[in-house]
């Protein structure tokens, strides 16, 4: 169940941080894992919360030959705020997720609040 908080595969989509608590994204906190085994091969992720500077930065690496077609990255703001700008994907307000279609194997996402 802990793994499913961080990573979940469904079809050709990789869901990241789908079950993480909001408190894990408070300013100054980091979520970092390397080469987590998934159906799509090893995945590495680093999320840095700098909400005191009004942004969260995330990098995702899954460069195996069977990488996912889509990545859905949930980024729940601790105070339920919505980003004013998102680079690196499309923000889905309903799921608090950044969706990356046609994933190339590497992504940098920046959310500004």
Distances (CA, A) of 46 to 6, 11, 110: 12, 24, 12
pLDDT, tens digit (0-9, with 9 covering 90-100), for 30-75: 999 999 999 999 999 999 999 999 999 999 999 899 999 999 999 9
Say what the pLDDT of residue 3 is: 85
Q: Is the pLDDT of residue 2 over 90?
A: no
Distances (CA, A) of 78 to 44, 93, 98: 23, 15, 16
């Amino acid at each position: 169940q802990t793994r499913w908080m961080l990573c979940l595969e469904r079809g050709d989509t990789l869901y990241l941080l789908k079950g993480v608590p909001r408190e894990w994204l408070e300013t100054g906190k980091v979520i970092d894992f390397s080469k987590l085994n998934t159906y799509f091969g090893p995945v590495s992720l680093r999320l840095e919360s700098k909400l005191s500077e009004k942004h969260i930065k995330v990098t995702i690496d899954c460069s195996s030959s069977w990488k996912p077609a889509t990545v859905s990255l949930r980024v729940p703001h601790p105070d339920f705020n919505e980003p004013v700008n998102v680079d690196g994907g499309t923000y889905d307000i309903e799921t608090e997720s950044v969706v990356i279609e046609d994933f190339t194997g590497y992504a940098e996402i920046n959310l500004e609040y």
